A and B are shown apart, each in its own frame.
Chain A
Amino acid sequence: MSEDILDQARALFFAEAREMCEQIESSLLQLEEDPADRELLNALFRAAHTIKGSAGLFGLDAVVGFTHHVENSLDRLREGLISLDISFTSLLFECSDHIKLMLRDAESARDGAAPDPSVEQASGGLVVRLAPFTGASAVAQSPAVAAAAAGAGEALTDNKNWHLSLRFGKDTFRDGFDPLAIINYLATLGEVMSVRVLTEPIPAFDALDPESCHLGFEISLQTSASKEQIESAFDLVRESCTVRIIPPDRRVADIVALIESSGNGAAHLGDILVDSGAITRHELEQALATQNAVPAGDTTRVLLGEMLVKERIAPATAVDAALTQQTRNRDAKTEEARFVRVRSDKLDELINLVGELVIASAGTTIQAQKTRDSALVESTLSMGRLIEEIRNGALSLRMVPIGETFAKFKRVVRDVAGELAKEVSLEIIGAETELDKSVVEHIGDPLMHLVRNALDHGMETPDEREAAGKPRCGRVVLSACHDSGGILIKIEDDGRGIRRDKVLAKAIEKGLVAPGATPADSEIDNLIFEAGFSTADKVTNLSGRGVGMDVVRRNIEGLRGAVRIQSVTGGGTTVSIRLPLTLAIIDGFLVRVGDCSFVIPLSHVIECIDGATALTGAANETTGMLALRDAALPVVHLNRMFGIKAESSLRQSVVVVRNGTEKAGLVVDHLLGEFQTVIKPLGKMFRNVRGIAGSTILGSGEVGLILDIGSLTEIARAQADAHEHQRGSASSSQRGADHANA
């Protein structure tokens, strides 16, 4: 029953409210004739008041909320606090229309239906525009209004038109600009639906400077132009005019849809917004400048997205969509976009083929040179250059930074130091140094041994360190760098260094050094790489089993690398590992001995001496000495070493090679020059031949042997030592004889 009464009353209310709206409009029209008519002003106020009052009765909260603001402004008008000008009048007409729209919606929606969000937004927009007339800031009013203002990007628009807020600077006229010209220009982009001039900033007449500009405009523009195009209207007046361009609802929806569907891969929020047309490049630059005015890290620094929304430069929904897209991009970037995952065997196949190509190219060059056709030589050379670039590119595909391998030692050092009750910090240098992936895979274990050794043997306990005048916390440095065509990895510690007396005693005990011999310090240090050698007083579970250093050396030599150790008693130990950048291809130096070709890795070659004659040594010995610039250089006769019948030529040549700090000369018959080559492993039968590291196929199709410089310099050095000690060391000559038989 009561429902019925309410229904009837509702119908009456709607009719009455519409009447009130008519009254507002007629009063406004009459007030235009006679703005001071108090009766009309009162009637105007009463009409709004009545609508508000009755709407509350029927639970039409939206109508109540909105009419409240209209009533407030009319109250102030009635009190004479504000005057009725054209802009205010037209705004009130719009408000009246809007109330009628809300009433119609409410009437058709009946109970339970959700209010139309676009109507609510329009309310918000009008409330904001009413704010100057209600004497309060729009935002600080009721929560409903605050919410409307928060979504101002949408709320300010009347749904289908662009909204432009222009504030011209005082010097606009003096700068030669005419706001009217710009509005006229806007009209060429579309239809200017309404222009409202902001009169509040205009000073009283006696204070008015007619040459200064006090104008502000609120413009509603219907156009299909983009935000960028609209902004371009203000290109020339940027410095004199503050511009806010708010897109229509439909545009906002379009922008959001565009951001969501575009798959824009940009990493920056601003770029996504600019690309979608939500903001212009210029707006972005200004916002960034404002943001950057506050130093990074300052708590008052606002996020770009927040600022764009707050300053009403970009609609909140568009910023949200762009933020989501940005997060998506960030995730995708780190995982996929920056990497292509390729099976490593495919890569190996490619590198192998490139290697063959390098060989074939070298062969072609040689053939071309034989023809003495300079044009042909030229073209093969340029092809060779390109192939070399392809080779470098292909090899770089396999290159990975060593940092990842290094990084895991942080944990190792922490844990091991804890177990040993020592204080150790690890420093990593050159983590970005790149080397072949297969080298990286194989270097992990040797490094682990060396780092553990440094902690276990090298590093003293904190108390011992303090007693020695060192900081309690020990330091281990892992470093990597590129060094003459290879990579140099160092493990340095500032521990006690190698105790040479102990090492020497042990070596004599093991029969590695003849009793009474006095090897050089560096030789003693490197004894610890011998098999079965350990000086640790007791075997810990970390090291001291006497297999570590021996295995380390073999692993590294297996990678065509070399390991050296340097130590300062009481000052620390440095282990240096020199490794080739890649295992697949080397730059070699081709030499000939008899009818055999040998390749010396170019990174080891220091110099070549053509036709050296000042050789010493018996005619049948593998090794000898060469006087090179007043210094004695141990040499190896390759023909004797490998049992090759040498050419009868008297002019033999020497290639001076270096392995770490050791130097040696290799006596050969002919020097053939630089040569790029792919390393092919030796067959099982030849794997143990001393002095040979691998094989390769020469351009002529012949097999060339790649020399193992590490073992050859060792042979030469053993010989030199033997000379030094006037053949006093039995073990050295013993070793020399071994090599000769190898």
Chain B
Amino acid sequence: MAKTILVVDDSASFRQVVALTLKGAGYDVVEAGDGKDALTKLDGRKIHLIISDVNMPNMDGIAFLKQVKLHPNYKFTPVVMLTTEGQDAKKNEGREAGAKAWIVKPFMPPQVLDAVAKLVLP
């Protein structure tokens, strides 16, 4: 059974690239446009990995992460945060919220796959 990955980003084109890349590698992908949307889409279902942007409308990545970590089903779900260069302050904030894995934007699809493979194999 394929592993499921939740991709949260407010850019539809970005989501599409990541989703297609991951699907091509054999993962199932659930997409969400912001933190709030993501929480609705999760709804207790089994997710193996969450990839989330930080800067998003409605609910940003950090707030979303805090919410997710509270949910018993997602306590141990790996979360990869996406950030742009030079957001060290955000990184520290995220670290406290429990985000340990970071990928710095911009990146190429193979990099995403490589990072994901270190956390969840398809």
Measuring CB to CB, which residues of chain A are less than 8 angstroms from any residue of chain B?
173-178, 181-182, 184-185, 188, 211, 232-233, 235-237, 239-240
Contact A174 B118 (CB under 8 A): no
Contact A182 B118 (CB under 8 A): yes
Most B CB atoms within 10 A — which of A176, A182, A211? A176
Besides the contacts A181-B121, A239-B100, what 17 more A-B pairs have beta carbons closer than 8 Å? A175-B100, A176-B79, A176-B101, A177-B78, A177-B119, A178-B119, A178-B120, A184-B121, A185-B117, A232-B114, A233-B118, A235-B118, A236-B80, A236-B102, A236-B118, A237-B100, A239-B95
B76 at the interface (CB under 8 A from A): yes
Contact B115 A236 (CB under 8 A): yes
Q: Which residues of B contact A181 (CB under 8 A)?
A: 118-121
Q: Which residues of A contact B76 (CB under 8 A)?
A: 173-174, 176, 211
Q: List 22 A-B contacts (CB under 8 A).
A: A174-B75, A175-B78, A175-B98, A176-B76, A176-B77, A177-B100, A178-B78, A178-B120, A181-B118, A181-B119, A181-B120, A185-B118, A185-B121, A188-B117, A211-B75, A211-B76, A236-B80, A236-B118, A237-B101, A239-B95, A239-B100, A240-B100
| Alpha-carbon separation in the docked complex, A174 to B98 (Å) | 8
Minimum CB–CB distance for A226 against chain B, Å: 15
Q: Which residues of B contact A178 (CB under 8 A)?
A: 78, 119-120
Q: Which residues of A contact B100 (CB under 8 A)?
A: 175-177, 236-237, 239-240
In the complex formed, the residue of A with least CB distance to B75 is A174
| Alpha-carbon separation in the docked complex, A177 to B100 (Å) | 9
Q: Which residues of B contact A240 (CB under 8 A)?
A: 100
Within 8 A of A (CB), among B103-122: 114-115, 117-121
| Alpha-carbon separation in the docked complex, A237 to B80 (Å) | 11
Nearest 9 pairs of A and B residues by beta carbon: A176-B78, A236-B101, A175-B100, A185-B118, A184-B121, A173-B76, A176-B77, A181-B119, A185-B117
Minimum CB–CB distance for B82 against chain A, Å: 13
| Alpha-carbon separation in the docked complex, A175 to B95 (Å) | 10
In the complex formed, the residue of B with least CB distance to A175 is B100
Mark interface residues in B33-71 (1 if CB within 8 Å of A CB, else 0): 000000000000000000000000000000000000000
| Alpha-carbon separation in the docked complex, A233 to B80 (Å) | 15
Minimum CB–CB distance for B4 against chain A, Å: 14
Q: Which residues of B contact A184 (CB under 8 A)?
A: 121
In the complex formed, the residue of A with least CB distance to B117 is A185
Minimum CB–CB distance for A231 against chain B, Å: 12
Minimum CB–CB distance for B58 against chain A, Å: 23
Q: Which residues of B contact A173 (CB under 8 A)?
A: 76
In the complex formed, the residue of A with least CB distance to B119 is A181
Minimum CB–CB distance for B117 against chain A, Å: 5
Mark interface residues in B75-101 (1 if CB within 8 Å of A CB, else 0): 111111000000000000001001011
Q: Which residues of A contact B98 (CB under 8 A)?
A: 174-176
Q: Which residues of B contact A177 (CB under 8 A)?
A: 78, 100-101, 119
Q: Which residues of A contact B119 (CB under 8 A)?
A: 176-178, 181, 236
Contact B115 A235 (CB under 8 A): yes
Most A CB atoms within 10 A — which of B98, B118, B121? B118
In the complex formed, the residue of A with least CB distance to B76 is A173
In the complex formed, the residue of B with least CB distance to A180 is B121
| Alpha-carbon separation in the docked complex, A174 to B117 (Å) | 19
| Alpha-carbon separation in the docked complex, A240 to B118 (Å) | 14
In the complex formed, the residue of B with least CB distance to A234 is B118
| Alpha-carbon separation in the docked complex, A237 to B99 (Å) | 11
Q: Which residues of B contact A188 (CB under 8 A)?
A: 117
| Alpha-carbon separation in the docked complex, A181 to B118 (Å) | 6
Minimum CB–CB distance for A171 against chain B, Å: 8
Minimum CB–CB distance for A158 against chain B, Å: 26
Minimum CB–CB distance for A170 against chain B, Å: 13
| Alpha-carbon separation in the docked complex, A182 to B117 (Å) | 8
In the complex formed, the residue of A with least CB distance to B95 is A239
Minimum CB–CB distance for B30 against chain A, Å: 17
Q: Which residues of A contact B77 (CB under 8 A)?
A: 176
| Alpha-carbon separation in the docked complex, A185 to B78 (Å) | 15
Q: Which residues of A contact B120 (CB under 8 A)?
A: 178, 181
Q: Which residues of A contact B80 (CB under 8 A)?
A: 236
| Alpha-carbon separation in the docked complex, A175 to B102 (Å) | 12
Q: Which residues of A contact B121 (CB under 8 A)?
A: 181, 184-185
Most A CB atoms within 10 A — which of B98, B100, B115? B100
In the complex formed, the residue of A with least CB distance to B50 is A176
Q: Which residues of B contact A174 (CB under 8 A)?
A: 75-76, 98
Q: Which residues of B contact A176 (CB under 8 A)?
A: 76-79, 98, 100-101, 119
| Alpha-carbon separation in the docked complex, A236 to B51 (Å) | 13
Minimum CB–CB distance for A630 against chain B, Å: 62
Q: Which residues of A contact B101 (CB under 8 A)?
A: 176-177, 236-237
Most B CB atoms within 10 A — which of A175, A184, A233, A239? A175
| Alpha-carbon separation in the docked complex, A211 to B75 (Å) | 10
Minimum CB–CB distance for B33 against chain A, Å: 22
| Alpha-carbon separation in the docked complex, A182 to B118 (Å) | 5
Most B CB atoms within 10 A — which of A173, A182, A232, A235? A235
Minimum CB–CB distance for A166 against chain B, Å: 13
| Alpha-carbon separation in the docked complex, A342 to B57 (Å) | 65
Minimum CB–CB distance for B77 against chain A, Å: 5
Q: Which residues of A contact B117 (CB under 8 A)?
A: 185, 188
Q: Which residues of B contact A182 (CB under 8 A)?
A: 118
| Alpha-carbon separation in the docked complex, A17 to B64 (Å) | 66
| Alpha-carbon separation in the docked complex, A185 to B95 (Å) | 24
| Alpha-carbon separation in the docked complex, A184 to B76 (Å) | 18
| Alpha-carbon separation in the docked complex, A181 to B119 (Å) | 5
Minimum CB–CB distance for B83 against chain A, Å: 13
Most B CB atoms within 10 A — which of A173, A174, A236? A236
Q: Which residues of B contact A236 (CB under 8 A)?
A: 80, 100-102, 115, 118-119
| Alpha-carbon separation in the docked complex, A182 to B115 (Å) | 11
Minimum CB–CB distance for A689 against chain B, Å: 68
| Alpha-carbon separation in the docked complex, A176 to B79 (Å) | 7
Q: Which residues of A contact B114 (CB under 8 A)?
A: 232
| Alpha-carbon separation in the docked complex, A233 to B98 (Å) | 20
| Alpha-carbon separation in the docked complex, A239 to B98 (Å) | 12
Minimum CB–CB distance for B107 against chain A, Å: 12
Q: Which residues of A contact B95 (CB under 8 A)?
A: 239
Q: Which residues of B contact A185 (CB under 8 A)?
A: 117-118, 121
